[in-house]
């Protein structure tokens, strides 16, 4: 999986997520290539569809063994989001009114066709809203239609607000780190006493 966020020169936030075909060293190398190509193209083009289009061309020209899905989104200070998809599932907006997939037909995956064209869509988020990015591995099941799987994702987001889950995860992580630090200090103290 390729994921990241970085600030653009004009102050917008760029967010990427993708899923690389394959496993092992080759997939890891592909992830690195894709991450760098997307970041370079993001600095050259403002529109998400152009970023994906030019990144795809570079990937196709550079290596035929790289194949990945991707979502590239920009977010400005007002909460305005613009995004494009390369074979990737759409982002999920979660707010007080509920959860909804942001509609947009995905273009071809990166590395598949150098002449592929991408379209983009836009939406706004308000205070307290969240945007959920995910890969198809989260929602796809062999025995279930993809539309049903996406409905399950929406239902889960509506019944378990994202911001509460994230806060719980952060609190849990802090507690685990604090326990590890205390345990390490005790072990160091025991080792010191035992060495004397």
For position 162, what pLDDT does the model report? Answer: 54
Cα angle 168-165-161, degrees, rounded to a multiple of 5: 140
Strand ranges for the chain from DSSP E:
2-7, 13-20, 68-75, 80-86, 92-95, 98-101, 120-124, 130-132
Pairwise pLDDT comparison (53 vs 190), residue with the higher score: 53
For position 184, what pLDDT does the model report? Answer: 46
Bridge partners (DSSP) of residue 92 are: 101, 132
Query: 15: helix, coil or strand?
Result: strand
What average pLDDT does range 4-25 have in this prediction?
A: 88
Q: Where are the domains of the chain?
A: 2-160
The model carries a pTM of 0.77
Residue 196's pLDDT band (boundaries 50, 70, 90)? very low
Q: Determine the distance from the C-alpha atom of residue 132 to the mean position of all C-alpha atoms in its chain, rounded to a whole number.
A: 8
Choose among 64, 84, 60: nearest CA to 72.
84
For position 172, what pLDDT does the model report? Answer: 46
The verdict on domain 2-160 having CATH code 3.60.40.10 is yes
DSSP at 47 = S
Q: Which two tokens stand for residue 156?
A: 């889960």
Model confidence at 168: pLDDT above 50? no
Query: Which of 2-6, 102-106, 157-161, 177-181 is predicted most confidently?
Result: 102-106
Model confidence at 29: pLDDT above 50? yes
What are the pLDDT digits (tens) for 106-152?
999 998 889 999 999 999 998 889 899 988 888 788 888 888 888 88
**CA Rg value for the chain:** 20
What are the pLDDT digits (tens) for 47-106?
999 999 999 998 888 766 778 899 999 999 999 999 999 999 999 999 888 899 999 999
For position 81, what pLDDT does the model report? Answer: 95
What average pLDDT does range 166-173 have in this prediction?
A: 46
């Amino acid at each position: 999986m390729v994921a990241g966020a970085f600030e653009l020169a004009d102050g917008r936030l760029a967010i990427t997520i993708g899923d690389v075909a394959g496993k092992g060293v080759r997939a890891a190398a592909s992830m690195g290539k894709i991450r760098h190509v997307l970041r370079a193209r993001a600095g050259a083009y403002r529109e998400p569809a152009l970023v994906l289009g030019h990144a795809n061309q570079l990937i196709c020209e550079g290596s035929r063994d790289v194949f990945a899905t991707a979502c590239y989104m920009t977010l400005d200070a007002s909460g305005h989001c613009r995004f494009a998809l390369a074979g990737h599932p759409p982002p999920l907006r979660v707010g007080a009114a509920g959860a909804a997939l942001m509609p947009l037909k995905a273009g071809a995956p990166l590395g598949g066709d150098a002449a592929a064209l991408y379209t983009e869509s836009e939406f706004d988020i308000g205070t307290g809203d969240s945007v959920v990015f995910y890969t198809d591995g989260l929602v796809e099941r062999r025995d279930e239609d993809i539309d049903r799987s996406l409905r399950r994702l929406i239902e889960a987001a509506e019944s378990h607000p994202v911001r509460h889950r994230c806060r719980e995860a952060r609190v849990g992580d802090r507690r685990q780190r604090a326990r590890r630090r205390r345990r390490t200090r005790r072990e160091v103290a025991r080792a010191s006493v035992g060495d004397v």
